[in-house]
Structure 1
Amino acid sequence: MTAPGTLRVAAAQASSEAGDVAANVATARALVTTAADRGARVVVLPELFLTGYAASVWDHESGLDLEDPRLALLAEVAADRGVVVVTSAAVRRALDETTLSVVLVDATGEVSAPYDKQHLCGEERGFFTPGDHGATVVVDGWDLGLGICYDGCFPEHAAAAAAGGAMAYLCPSAYFTGAEHRRDLYYAARAIDNGIYVVFAGLAGRCGDRNFSGGSAVYDPEGRPLARAGDEDPAVVVADLDPAEVARVQGEVNPVALDRLDTQGKRVRVTL
């Protein structure tokens, strides 16, 4: 198989209005336009960006229908600029089921939700149904694994994506102010754990009654930030992903992804 070419990606952040899909779509459209102006082919936006990260608006009625006409402006900019948008929302799945999901808008403007957050965190557990499968989206020959925020805190989640062929791991996220240390460690670690790129988009500003810390970044396969924002609202960071760098790191520099054992075997306990 021929290796893909370089892929320019953007991680974008801004504040989200709790429950105001129309306002959030307008902000998303502006962020995508800025990223496209800088040559991005894939744009990652934060967790629950379209519907708001605020428990006060988490109910079944506020879950997004993927055919919601308010998404048209985002679909239009994706199609007009030829970009793939990876964002997130509360999505209505069934009469009594809402998921915390990746909302994918492809370069033709088609909207789908291929991945539901598997590792729900804190008060999310009282509102959302956890996902039951991983997901990868393929763009220009790049396998891009999907995760959402807390998923990226579990090494096995990104490892499963890498084992399935992913060369990058995309994580819409939302970190409360004060958690910056953990935020900056987790996603750099997922990159170096697997020798892949990680694209992290963090919610910024205030949503509901909480403040969020941003920190959107693109990490290289050795866990170094190629580009990273602070807590600015809004901000867009852009970087180029290179398949040769993934191959170099995995094959020569840090082959932990290739050397990882399927099992650690039984554990022997010695009491002295």
Structure 2
Amino acid sequence: MTCRIATVQMEAVPGDVDANVALIARLVGDAAAGDADLALFPEAAVTGYDDLAFADPLPALGPGGWWAPVQKAVDRTGVIAVVNTALEREGCRTLSDVILSPGRDPLAAYAKQHLHDSERPLFAPGDHGASFVLHGLRFALSVCYDANFPEHAAAAGRAGAHVYLNSGAYFPGGEHRRDLHYASRALDNGMYVVFSGLVGGPHAFIGGSAVFDPLGRRIAAVGEAEHVAFADLDAEVVRETRERQRMWADHRDELGPHRPLGSFRPTDAAH
């Protein structure tokens, strides 16, 4: 069974939750027009990614709140949306993935576990991974910096994930690191990796939204502007890839202690 995913690239206005939510709702419609089952949105898509926006009162998940227009779009189209936002929940401020699905209340499913320097004074890190199943594929959640750590995606793979979703916001100069990390997480674990990135202000975010197959090859991508890219994901491709490329099966959890071997120095005769 396959699942069609839409990775969304968009610009979020810092602090303008209403405008950002209206845009997200419209882009859910664009995802539906492309026959997507699931749409992934960038990091802080609701609040915008900016310290001033993060210092303001943050969205919560109270009844009939900010999420209502997105829920309406989800209910109308049937598309499931994974929307990242700075979130206030039970006295804790997090960068969280909220899942909006037809006919259900929004679910604060996952909080970013690896916080960057500027984020640590503002947010609490998440304390667990999370995944869900759609059309026979298991989707694991991650946010931006999480994907820099191989063990994060590996833990998702060990939990049965076929797909690693990542919402991000990359600054200028991060292109090489961004693309290398996502391709590597896919190849390391024999699973799809889907990245959704912010573009534009206030920090000239560079986007790069893309889908990588289980061999680390880019199979869908968005250009520099706001847009949506689509890819069909297949659990059988993951299974076949893991059978052929042996890194997944040959991985060893225990490698024994590291043994220092001392120092070596060439003799004069070697010159």
Quick check: TM above 0.5?
yes
Specify the alignment match of 2:267 in structure 1: none
Local SS of the residue matching 2:12: coil
**Which position in structure 2 is the counterpart of 1:121?**
116
Unaligned stretches of 5+ in structure 2? Answer: 265-271
Matches of 1:267 and 1:206, distance apart in 2: 46
Tell whether 2:184 aligns with 1:189: yes
Farther-moved stretch of structure 1 (131-140 vs 194-203) = 131-140
Q: Which residue of 1 aligns with 2:70?
A: 74
Question: Which AA in structure 2 matches 1:227?
Answer: A
Task: Count matched residues.
Answer: 262
Please say if 1:266 is aligned against 2:257: yes
Confirm or deny that 1:11 pairs with 2:38: no
1:200 aligns with 2:195: yes
Cα distance in structure 1, aligned partners of 2:184 and 2:249: 16
SS of the equivalent of 2:67 reads helix
Q: Shift in Å at residue 230 of structure 1? A: 2.5
Q: Which moved more, 1:106-115 or 1:153-162?
A: 106-115
2:209 maps to a residue whose letter is: S
Q: Percent identity?
A: 42
1:103 corresponds to:
98
What pairs with 1:1-272 in structure 2 (closer than 5 Å)? 5-59=1-55, 61-67=56-62, 69-95=65-91, 97-207=92-202, 210-232=203-225, 234-252=226-244, 254-271=245-262, 272=264
Whether the 8 Å contact between 2:136 and 2:235 is mirrored in structure 1 is no
Gap regions ≥5 residues in structure 1: none
Q: Could you tell me whether the CA contact under 8 Å between 1:205 and 1:231 is conserved in 2?
A: no
Q: Is the 8 A contact 1:136 1:166 kept in 2?
A: yes
Counterpart residue identity of residue 13, structure 2: E
Kept in 1: contact 2:137–2:234 (CA 8 A): no
Note closer, same or farther for the CA distance 1:109–1:16 as it changes in structure 2 (3 Å cut).
Answer: farther
Cα deviation, 1:153-183, whole Å, max 9, x if unaligned, reads: 1000011001000000000111012211111
Name the aligned partner's letter for residue 219 of structure 1: F
- Worse-superposed segment, 47-56 or 136-145: 136-145
Say whether the 8 Å CA contact 1:195–1:255 is kept in structure 2.
no
CA RMSD in angstroms, aligned pairs only: 1.1
Q: Which runs of 4+ in 1 moved over 2 A?
A: 67-70, 107-110
Higher CA-based Rg: 2
**How many Å separate the matches in 2 of 1:169 and 1:190?**
8
Query: 1:248 deviation in Å?
Result: 1.0
